[in-house]
Structure 1
């Protein structure tokens, strides 16, 4: 099999039981270290429930990253946005960021929008461009990383994303929990080198904390500042003392939703 990232041959690495029933071959690229599954024919079954019962960190993850994203926006992007959360799940992160005053919009083809209704990409003008695209815990789900990132970059020229880096070149499902074959959704696993090569394909720079937060952009970013923003204590101080206060969008969002509901027939609004 050819590596999805650098188009060089990948070696069969191990056979894993996916969704407790499918014997699936994983391939490791000999050049960039990227690990991918065979063609994931089981994905329709894996996404019968978009958010798996094993994703117990969904809420804490959104609360953790919100201050970091705020700091990164204040430092390098226009706070007035707009911003797109790609693969935004239930819309929780979008709601949190809008409450902080940043006009985020949600996009997710698999999951129901529970917390950010009326602030979905389906409600936006066609060909809307975004100041920054975020994608938390999305990249590992991509059977075609290059094709999907190309779509993201049509929406915005910078992508801030999280995915855990391979801890060592010889990692296996037995030694690293992040494979999670039980859910069948993690089909692409990245080394730092593979992410750098992926960014280079689009003539972008990669900035990374070396663990799980990464930024692809053409902007000139100070790597020290980027890593600094992944420390919760430091990022709180930055947000407190830098930039102007950003009024929450909660009240204006409420009025927008309220006005839209008043225009609907009663049965539709309920």
Structure 2
């Protein structure tokens, strides 16, 4: 199999029982370290439930990263946005960021939008561009990372995302929980080198905390500031000192949604 990232041969590394019933082969690239499954024919079954019962960190993940995203926007991007949360799940992160005053829009083809229903990409003009694209716990789900990252970059020129990098080159499902073969959704696992090469394919630089937070962008980013923003106390201080003139969009959004609801036929509200 050819590596999805660097187009060099990948060797069969091991087999794992996926969804408790499919014997799936995983391939490891010896050039960039990227690990990918065989062609993931089981994905329609895996996404029968878009958010799996094993994703118990969904809420804490959003709580953790919202202050960091706020700080990075204030430091390197235009706060007036707009911003796109790609693979945004239930819309919780979009709602949290709008409550902080940042006009985020949610996109997810697999999951129902519960918390940002009126602020979805389906409600936006075709071809709309965004100041920044965020993608939390998305990259490991990508059967074709280059194609999907290209799609993201057509929406916005910078991508801030999370995915855990391989803890060592010889990692296996027995030694690293992040494979999660029980759900069948993690089909791409990245080394730091593979993420650098992925960014380079689009002429971008990769900035990373070398664990799970990464930024692909052409903007000049100070790595020291990037690492600073991954520390909860430091990022809280930065946001406190730079909070003006942010204003929550909660009241604005409530009025917009109320006006929209009043215009709908009664049968659509039941």
Under a length normalisation based on structure 2, what TM-score does the superposition of the two structures give? 0.99
Q: Within 1, Cα distance between the matches of 2:228 and 2:17?
A: 39
Q: Which residue of 2 aligns with 1:9?
A: 9
**What is the CA deviation profile of residues 148-185 of structure 1, one whole-angstrom value per residue up to 9, with x for unaligned ones?**
00000000000000000000000000000000000000
Q: Within 2, Cα distance between the matches of 1:267 and 1:196?
A: 51
**Shift of residue 243, structure 1, vs aligned partner:** 5.0
1:181-192 to 2 correspondences below 5 Å = 181-192=181-192
Q: Within 2, Cα distance between the matches of 1:38 and 1:224?
A: 38
Q: Which residue of 1 aligns with 2:27?
A: 27
Q: Secondary structure at the match of 1:51?
A: coil
Q: Which residue of 2 aligns with 1:257?
A: 257
**Shift of residue 269, structure 1, vs aligned partner:** 2.4
**What is the CA deviation profile of residues 220-263 of structure 1, one whole-angstrom value per residue up to 9, with x for unaligned ones?**
00011001100001000000012523100000000000000111
Q: Which residue of 1 aligns with 2:127?
A: 127
Q: Within 2, Cα distance between the matches of 1:11 and 1:224?
A: 37
1:216-227 to 2 correspondences below 5 Å = 216-227=216-227
Q: Within 1, Cα distance between the matches of 2:6 and 2:223?
A: 24
**What is the CA deviation profile of residues 171-214 of structure 1, one whole-angstrom value per residue up to 9, with x for unaligned ones?**
00000000000000000000000000000000000000010000
Q: Which residue of 2 aligns with 1:138?
A: 138
Q: Within 2, Cα distance between the matches of 1:210 and 1:244?
A: 31
Q: Within 2, Cα distance between the matches of 1:243 and 1:127?
A: 31
Q: Which residue of 1 aligns with 2:214?
A: 214
Q: Which residue of 2 aligns with 1:62?
A: 62
Under a length normalisation based on structure 1, what TM-score does the superposition of the two structures give? 0.99
Q: Within 2, Cα distance between the matches of 1:122 and 1:37?
A: 31
Unpaired runs of 5+ residues, structure 2, are none
> How many residues get paired?
270
Q: Which residue of 1 aligns with 2:204?
A: 204
After superposing on structure 2, the runs of 4+ consecutive aligned residues of structure 1 that deviate more than 4 Å are none
Q: Which residue of 2 aligns with 1:248?
A: 248
